[in-house]
């Protein structure tokens, strides 16, 4: 089996690659080649695996060549993120819409249909004046995105569905929740502070929270997110249930509950490193995303949210021990 991960050098792409390589197979087929396409080279430890190949450069420029390689499966994770799309309209169109369309056309021209998992986002939901966001988002809730990023994702969902309807690909869309806690440096996502307010204090650094403490968020840990992507790939067409996008599992927490979990593992000194500085733009964008989800489709696929945010923090500590610079409570 030959697989492609776009955005393969990013945090989620690299973690997905590590998980797939450790498994050794996907949907019952051994993985012989894993191609990671991104603007930058993937981590060295991934390239050390003989099964891994890198394709470096703008994805839009690579799509035609990638399509000619004849992939069995594709995870399309590459994307410009929320705040980037608001700040640079052309960047968002090029990175999200133009690139996804080019990738789909390249796969359409391939000798056989590839199975594709497209990573969409909870940002496809919002509160429209004509259709307010319900208190709980369910499988039949109509997306009404209120940002360029959310609109791009929703348009791409429909493209994946139509290319699947025509038989050009076997496409499945998974809507990702905000992933926390992400390691490394902040990215351009409006939700980036939801990792920073945990990651930075654990490293002994200050962090800023731009929203109120009672703001509720739908989150998923990195491990839960990767598990969801793989299960969506491996699901039969019948089990996935049509061509409509699937909302991955969400843990609903408030910012205050996140800080309470931080205090439990690192004490009040760590929480004191987080200051609240209101940012109306970020608060408006993040506050417009849904925080509560229910899904029978998730249940049918055996998908479950994280148990609580404390378990999410402990997962980060286990995965990133070198990033901790403060004493921990045991």
Residue closest to 277 by CA, chosen among 195, 182, 192, 212: 212
Residue 97 and residue 101: Cα distance in Å, rounded? Answer: 6
CA distance 297 to 166: 23
Query: Comparing C-alpha atoms, which of 307, 133, 164 is closest to residue 245?
Result: 164
Burial class (CB in 10 A: 0-12, 13-18, 19+), 1: middle
Please calculate the CA angle 316-320-323 and round it to the nearest 5 degrees.
Answer: 110
Residues 6+ apart with CB under 8 A from 32: 1, 2, 51
**Could you give phi then psi for residue 223, rounded to 5 degrees?**
-65, -40
Active site residues: 149
């Amino acid at each position: 089996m030959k697989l492609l991960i776009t955005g393969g050098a990013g945090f989620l792409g690299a973690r997905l690659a590590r998980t797939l390589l450790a498994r050794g197979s996907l949907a019952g087929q051994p993985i012989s080649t894993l191609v990671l396409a991104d603007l930058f080279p993937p981590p060295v430890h991934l390239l050390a695996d003989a099964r891994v190949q890198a394709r470096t450069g703008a994805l839009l420029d690579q799509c035609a060549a990638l399509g000619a390689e004849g992939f069995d499966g594709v995870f399309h994770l590459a994307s410009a993120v929320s705040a980037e799309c608001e700040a640079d309209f052309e960047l968002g169109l090029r990175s999200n819409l133009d690139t996804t369309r080019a990738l789909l056309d390249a796969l359409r021209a391939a000798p056989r249909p590839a199975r594709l998992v497209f990573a969409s986002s909870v940002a496809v939901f919002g509160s429209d004046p004509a259709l307010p966001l319900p208190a709980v988002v369910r499988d039949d809730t109509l997306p009404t995105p209120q940002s360029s990023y959310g609109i791009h994702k929703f348009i791409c969902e429909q493209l994946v569905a139509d290319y699947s309807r025509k038989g050009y690909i076997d496409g499945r869309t998974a809507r990702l929740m905000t992933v926390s806690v992400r390691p490394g440096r902040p990215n351009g996502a409006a939700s980036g502070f939801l990792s920073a307010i945990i990651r930075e204090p654990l490293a002994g650094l200050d962090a800023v929270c731009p929203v109120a403490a009672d703001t509720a968020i739908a989150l998923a840990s990195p491990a839960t997110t990767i598990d969801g992507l793989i299960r969506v790939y491996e699901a039969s067409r019948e089990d996935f249930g049509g061509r409509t996008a699937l909302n991955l599992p969400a843990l609903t927490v408030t910012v205050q509950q996140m800080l309470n979990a931080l205090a439990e593992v690192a004490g009040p000194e760590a929480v004191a490193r987080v200051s609240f500085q209101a940012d109306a733009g970020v608060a408006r964008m993040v506050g417009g995303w849904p925080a509560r989800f229910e899904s029978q489709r998730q249940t049918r696929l055996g998908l479950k949210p994280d148990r609580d945010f404390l378990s999410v923090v402990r997962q980060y500590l286990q995965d990133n021990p070198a990033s901790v610079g403060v004493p921990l409570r045991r």
